[in-house]
Each structure stands twice: as C-alpha cells, then as structure tokens.
Structure 1
Amino acid sequence: MKKVTFFLFLFGNICFAQQKIDTVSLYFENDVSALTTAHLQKIDSIQSDTLPIISLKINGYANSFASFEYNQKLSDKRATNIAEAFSDSINVQTIGFGEIDDPSAAYRRADIIVTRQFHTITKKEVVPEPTLENEMKTAVSGEKITLQGMQFYPGVDIIRESSIPVAKKLFFFLTENPSVKIKISGHVCCGRLGIPSSIDGMNNRTRVQNLSEARAAAVYNYLVEKGISKDRMQYEGLAFLFPLGKTDDDDRRVEIEILSK
C-alpha cells in the first residue's frame, strides 16, 4: 500500500524563492468579536506591505468564560470578521479553535499568520499543486489521499460547517465514479512524547474514547445520507498510530484510501 505525496515542480530557468512568515495578534474585549479602529489599522498595515502574500491564515480563540458552544461560535466570528476586512484578492483560511481552558485575557484574540514571498531569482514556470478532485481521479488502488481542509470542532466528531465543501467534493467524486470503493481513515494527535499510540482520543460529545473512528464515521455517515451506498465504503479509526512528524494539525486528519476503481 503506497501513500501519495505531491510536489511542486519548477521548470525553465533555475529559480530560487524564499518565504517569510509573520504572526500578528489582535486582542478583543470579553464577549466581543467586532473589530476596532486599532484592529483595522493593523490589518491595513499588513495589506500595505509591498511583499506579496502567499497565504493568510487566521486562528480565532476565546477564553473559558461562557459555554463551550458559545465560545466556539465567538472564536469563529472573531476569525471571520478579520478575514472579511482583507481584500477579496487575498485567499484567507479561518479556523476558530473555541475556548482555551484558561480565563486569561491573552486568549481573547485572533492570530493572523502571514506568509510572504520575499525573494525570487529569474523567471520560472510553475505547475500548480493538484486539487483534491484531481488527486482522487488520478489515484490508483492502494493510494491514500488526505482530505485537506476536513476539520472538526475540538474534541468532538462534528464536522465544521467550513469543511462541508470538502465532504461535498468527495460525494461528487463518488457520484461521478460509481465503481470506486473507498476506506475512510481517521487520525488524531497526540501521542505521549510523540510516540505512536493505539490509544484513541476522547470524544467529548459521547464520552467514548474513539475520536478518530468517530470522525471517520462522521464522513461516512455524511456520504450515506447523501445517497452513497454503504457497500462502497469502509471506515476505521487509527488513533495516533501514523504520525507524519510535522505538526499536530497534520496528524489530526482524515484520509481516504482507494480500494478499487
């Protein structure tokens, strides 16, 4: 069974590019998600920089006042409000991380993570990274594909609203390719001292320690509800058995394996 890794190839003349990553934090008053004049000034300064923005990610947070559900919506709203203040020409990814188990004002914030390109030598031709649709179409039996952008609310098996488009892409692919069968695998972070572990995460919705399996089942059930036959799909939870050696977000993922085409 092989796992597919895609690379960005550069053709033509030899070229070299460097990236610069900056993080700007915006702080909020308690129970507030609206942007202030000071917030807007910081956003304007980010946009006025002459270095081109490659990617922009906004992580929203809330401290532990109020309920879990309320703080989840508050953190999402803080991130979304900031994203809306940027130019439409900038692609922005937002994630609301909900409440941090701490009442400190330091967690009433959103972090703007800006990646810029600041040095390029000579002209180059770039082959774009493949989309999820192309990855699924070109994959052969035994290959695994990470569902990039498939995210869940912290500690539970509920798919984020912002990730439904990813589930829809998988549904459309299966609809257009009725002979394809897949296996859906859920993964969680984090193992003790980074050691791979078969101990699954706790699903705070059900209080059952099967979070990776429950998240894979959530994708499976979404597809079943949309009309995909159960005979074409399997799902499993792999806990923290296959860490990627990168970040917690990379380990906290859902993959599909093409079983047959």
Structure 2
Amino acid sequence: MKNVFLISLLFTHFLWAQEELKHEVFFETDQFEITETEQSRLLVFLSAIENIDIEKISIYGFTDDRGSASYNLALSQKRANSIKTIFSNNEVDESLITNVDGKGKILLKLIQEENISKIRGLNRKVVIIVSPVFPPKPIVEPKVKTAKETLEGDIKIGDNIVLDNILFQTGYSYLLPESIKTLEEISKVLLKRDDIYFTIQGHVCCTQNSRDAIDRKTNKRNLSLARAKHIYDYLVKKGIDSKRMKFVGMRRKFPLGGEAKYDRRVEILVTYVSEIN
C-alpha cells in the first residue's frame, strides 16, 4: 500500500511538472516592439493562464547572431521588458514575474544554407515560462460584510461599498460566471432602496504607476471605465433609474493589497440619500 501511495504521489507531481507552460514571441530584425500578429498570439496565451495558480513567470529575451554582443544584449533586454509591459497592461500580477532577462544572441546552427533567414527569424524572440504552484494553494476568500448586507442597512453619503464577488475576467469587462448571481441580488436591493444615489467605480489590477489597463475587447486603455459601465448597463436593464447612477473609471489608484483578482472590481460610492416619506 505504501508503494502504491508513493507511486501515486510521484505521478501527481509528474503531472503538475508537465503543466509548466511555455510561449514564444517573435520579433522583426532590430525591433523590440511586438507585431500585431504576435500580440494576438500572446493574448491567447494570457487567456490560457488566467485560471492557473501561478508560482512564477520567467521572461527571457534573445536576438539572432548578427550584431555586436553589447548591442544584442541590450536589444534582448528591451524585448523582454516589452513583454513584461504587455503583461502589466493586461492585469498580470507583476509580483509573479521573477525574471525579466535579456540573454543576447543565439548562435546560428545551420541545417541547410537556404534556411539561414528562417532560423534567424526563429531566434529573434522572447521565451515566456509560466510555472504553476505545486501543490495548488487553497482558496481563501476574504471575510468581509457583503455588499448586499451593507446596502440593506443604514447608508450615508460617502459610504464606499465594494461589490464582493463581482469579479471580472482578466483584461475584460466580462463578469466571471459565479458573479452573475451576486449582481442579481444587488440589483434587487437597489431597486428597493430607491433612496440611494450612487457612482459606480471601476478598478483594475497590476498596471504600473496607477495607469488604466487595456481592454482586450476594444484595445483601448480604459478597462476600469468599461467595467463600471458594464455594471451600470446591467442595473439600467434591471429597472434602476439611470438618474440615480453615474459611472467612472478609477484606473489603479486604489489597490486593495491582496490577491490581484480582488482589484478587478467595482465599488459603489453613495453620493446622496433621500429622505424616505
């Protein structure tokens, strides 16, 4: 039985080891800006790792064999840095990125002489390696008073209410499926509490210098605004008077300091409470 357990443990570890994900981004000669085609490929990769519990991300830049060693080292670093910037713009937690290194040139290995151009093209790249956590971390939800409970209680002007469990897909204003039920409950409370006037504030995670993130749907840097408007449009459809609401994008001005997914959020700022007759 002990041997069976050890074999099972080793097999499980092997499976997790195999789940290390790798992606390569290719560049034009002497360039470190990513092309539109390569950016599309990278966004597909980012979507694939969204639901993985990540231990670390490594980003390594390379060049082909032409040019001086110092030039290639600098160019490979710029390529790695450009990929890190795209990760940040698309709400990837920078604390997970443990390596962003330019490795310089890859020496040319000839197979056939006519393949030189193709081989060099494949050497002008950044390699991204995503390592999952083993074993997976247990999910610990923050213990706070729910938005529904708060909205049903005493409300005053200036109250800022985090809409708990209203979470978004990375890089999008689309809600995660488990958030729909919570939003439905909140909309019912707000229909009853027609004395509350409020501003819906959208937030993003992981960008640099309090910047907004890029909305992958529109490729515009206004994701926090798009998230706020998504909630606004939903509440309007549920019958809540649009005159009671406004929506704004808060970019990444107020990170919560916990897991990155909780910064992909919306909040309600109470701006006025009318007297109930």
Segments of structure 1 that go 5 or more residues without pairing to the other structure are 1-36, 43-59, 80-96, 116-127
Alignment size in residue pairs: 171
Conserved in 1, the CA contact under 8 Å of 2:146 and 2:163? no
Conserved in 2, the CA contact under 8 Å of 1:62 and 1:109? no
Conserved in 2, the CA contact under 8 Å of 1:184 and 1:236? yes
AA in 2 matched with 1:182: F
Tell me how far apart the structure 2 counterparts of residues 105 and 190 of structure 1 sit (CA, whole Å): 17
Conserved in 2, the CA contact under 8 Å of 1:63 and 1:71? no
Residue number in structure 1 paired with 2:119:
none
Residue number in structure 1 paired with 2:200:
184
Matches within 5 A, 1:159-178: 159-178=175-194
SS at match of 1:207: coil
Conserved in 2, the CA contact under 8 Å of 1:62 and 1:72? no
AA in 2 matched with 1:216: A
AA in 1 matched with 2:222: N
Residue number in structure 1 paired with 2:267:
255
- 1:259/1:202 CA distance change after superposition, 3 Å: same
SS at match of 1:173: helix
2:216 to 179, 192, 204: 204
SS at match of 1:259: strand
Deviation at 1:112, TM superposition (A): 3.9
Residue number in structure 2 paired with 1:134:
149
Deviation at 1:149, TM superposition (A): 1.1
Deviation at 1:220, TM superposition (A): 0.6
Tell me how far apart the structure 2 counterparts of residues 106 and 173 of structure 1 sit (CA, whole Å): 42
Deviation at 1:157, TM superposition (A): 1.1
- What CA deviation, in whole Å up to 9, does each residue of 1:18-77 have, x standing for no partner? xxxxxxxxxxxxxxxxxxx959x98xxxxxxxxxxxxxxxxx99776999679958976x
Task: Please tell me whether Structure 1 or Structure 2 has the larger radius of gyration of its CA atoms.
Answer: 2
- 1:105/1:211 CA distance change after superposition, 3 Å: closer
AA in 1 matched with 2:223: L
Residue number in structure 1 paired with 2:136:
111
Deviation at 1:136, TM superposition (A): 1.3
Moved more, 182-191 or 242-251: 242-251
Deviation at 1:103, TM superposition (A): 7.4
- What CA deviation, in whole Å up to 9, does each residue of 1:101-142 have, x standing for no partner? 977584599834166xxxxxxxxxxxx953322211223121
Conserved in 2, the CA contact under 8 Å of 1:61 and 1:75? no
Tell me how far apart the structure 2 counterparts of residues 154 and 61 of structure 1 sit (CA, whole Å): 20
Matches within 5 A, 1:27-176: 106-107=131-132, 111-113=136-138, 130-138=145-153, 139-176=155-192
TM-score scaled by length of structure 1: 0.52
Deviation at 1:173, TM superposition (A): 0.9
Tell me how far apart the structure 1 counterparts of residues 139 and 173 of structure 2 sit (CA, whole Å): 29
Conserved in 2, the CA contact under 8 Å of 1:186 and 1:239? yes
SS at match of 2:138: strand
Tell me how far apart the structure 1 counterparts of residues 186 and 226 of structure 2 sit (CA, whole Å): 18
Deviation at 1:244, TM superposition (A): 3.2
Tell me how far apart the structure 2 counterparts of residues 244 and 173 of structure 1 sit (CA, whole Å): 25
Conserved in 1, the CA contact under 8 Å of 2:168 and 2:265? no
Tell me how far apart the structure 2 counterparts of residues 222 and 173 of structure 1 sit (CA, whole Å): 14
- What CA deviation, in whole Å up to 9, does each residue of 1:172-224 have, x standing for no partner? 111111222121001112343xx5x2x31100100111000001111111111
Between structures 1 and 2, the one with greater strand share? 1
Conserved in 2, the CA contact under 8 Å of 1:220 and 1:235? yes
Residue number in structure 2 paired with 1:6:
none
Percent of counterpart pairs with the same letter?
Answer: 26
Deviation at 1:250, TM superposition (A): 3.8
